[in-house]
Amino acid sequence: MNGLHPDLARILVPEETIQAHVKVLAHQISLDYADKGPVYLVGVLRGAFIFLADLVRHLTIPHVVDFMSVSSYGKSTESGVVRIVLDLREPIDNQHVIIVEDIVDSGKTLSYLYNMLKSRNPASLRTCTLVQKPKGPLDVPVDYLGFKIPDVWVVGYGLDYADKHRTLPYIAELKASVYTK
C-alpha cells in the first residue's frame, strides 16, 4: 500500500474498522452499566491510552478514568512475573470496575491485574480489550473484545515496537525482519 512505513508488512485492522468497533464496545458497556452508577475504567499504560481515550468519548454513562502501569520480567518465559509501577489513585471497593487493555497476548498482564483488583473487593470486575491473540486458554474472562488477530507482531493504535509506531491510527503487522534484526 502507498505510504506504508517500510517496517510494516500490512494493515491488519484499518482505522475505520477500529473506530466502528470502539463505538460498538462503548454502546454495549453503556447498556450494561446503565443502571449501575459510575463505571470505574482502569486503563493499562502505556498501550491502552489511545483506545481508552476513544472509548470513553462514546460512553453515555457516568464513568471515572484511572490508570495502572505494570512491568513484567521475562515476558517470553512461563513465569512472567509482573510488578506494579503505577497504582490506582483511589480504592475500588464497591466500584464497578472494567480493566481496559489494548492487547491480550499471553494473557499474563490481564490475569495478574484481574486477580489483583479482584482482591480489592470491587462491586464487579470485567475486562475489555481491543485485540486478542490466539494464545491458548486464559484464566480470566474477556468480557468486551474488539477483534481476534493472528499471532503476529502488531503495532499501532497504542501498540509499539521499541517505542515506535504507537500512534498510527490503524493496527499493522510488523515485518519479521524488523524484530529479528
Catalytic residues: 105
CB of 164 to ligand PRP, least distance (A): 11
Phi, psi (deg, nearest 5) at residue 36: -115, 0
Residue 102 interacting with ligand PRP (CB under 6 A) = yes
Q: Kindly tell me which of 92 and 102 has the beta carbon lying closer to ligand PRP.
A: 102
Sole window of 14-22, 42-50, 54-62, 148-156 interacting with ligand PRP (rule: CB under 6 A): 42-50
Site string for ligand PRP, 112-151 (x = CB under 6 A): ----------------------------------------
In what order do the strands lie in the sheet containing 124-132?
A: 82-86, 63-72, 39-45, 96-104, 124-132, 144-148
Among 18, 29, 39, 47, the residue binding ligand PRP under the rule CB under 6 A is 47
Are 153 and 174 contacting, i.e. CB atoms less than 8 angstroms apart? yes
The bridge status of strand 171-174 relative to strand 154-155 is antiparallel
Residue 105 interacting with ligand PRP (CB under 6 A) = yes
Cell 479482584 -> residue: 118
Residue 13 interacting with ligand PRP (CB under 6 A) = no
**Residue 88, burial from CB neighbour count under 10 angstroms (0-12, 13-18, 19+):** middle
Kind and range of the H or E run holding 111: helix 108-118
Give the footprint of ligand PRP on residues 52-91 (CB under 6 A). Answer: 75
Q: Kindly tell me which of 28 and 77 has the beta carbon lying closer to ligand PRP.
A: 77
